Amino acid sequence: MTIARLHGRVIGAGLGLAVLCDLRVGADNCRFRMPELGLGVPPAWGGILPRLLREGGQPEIRELLLTCAAFDAAKAKELSLLNKVVPLEQLDSAVREWSKPLTRRSPLALRMTKKALNAYGNTAQLAVGSSFDTALLTAVLSARELTRRP
């Protein structure tokens, strides 16, 4: 079981890693952004994009990826990218609130529950784009390098 404890800036692949966690709590000072397109590269997060789209919603995530717009913790909660938003000083206690009962659960039951949740959430699609990500990123970076040469 994984818990993302987020505060400050959550940018690019950092957001992607957080989305892979089972539970996500963010401080109210969080600022999120997916700047890859603005930097001239596609988001290549190891196949995380399908889950991000499922969790946050296709139209909303599409807009945020294409515009590279920053958004706050309240918007991340609205998009289901955060389960909970708390003041920064309560971040550790929020993580402990979740951790305590989880440590009392049967490890086997937790693993089986995660497998079921992932299966029903179609996380098998995560691997579909992952092999493409590396090739795509390499091609884009190579093309950028070629266009920069005099």
**pLDDT at res. 111:** 86
Q: Which amino acid is at 68?
A: C
Domain count, the chain: 1
Whichever domain contains 119, its CATH number is: 3.90.226.10
How far apart, in Å, are the Cα atoms of 150 and each of 100, 125, 145, 147?
Answer: 59, 41, 10, 8
Please tell me the predicted confidence (pLDDT) of residue 140: 56
Which distant-in-sequence residues (6+ apart) come within 8 Å of 66 by Cβ?
37
pLDDT in tens, 122-143: 644 444 444 445 555 565 566 6
> In percent, how much of the chain has pLDDT > 70?
79
**Measured distance CA(98)–CA(12) in Å, rounded:** 26
Is 64 a residue whose pLDDT tops 50?
A: yes
Helices (H), the chain: 13-20, 49-56, 58-67, 73-78, 91-103, 107-120, 126-148
* pLDDT tens per residue across span 81-107: 999 999 999 999 999 999 999 999 888
- Per-residue pLDDT band at 3 (split at 50, 70, 90): very high
Range of the domain at 9: 3-148
Check whether 149 has a pLDDT greater than 70. no
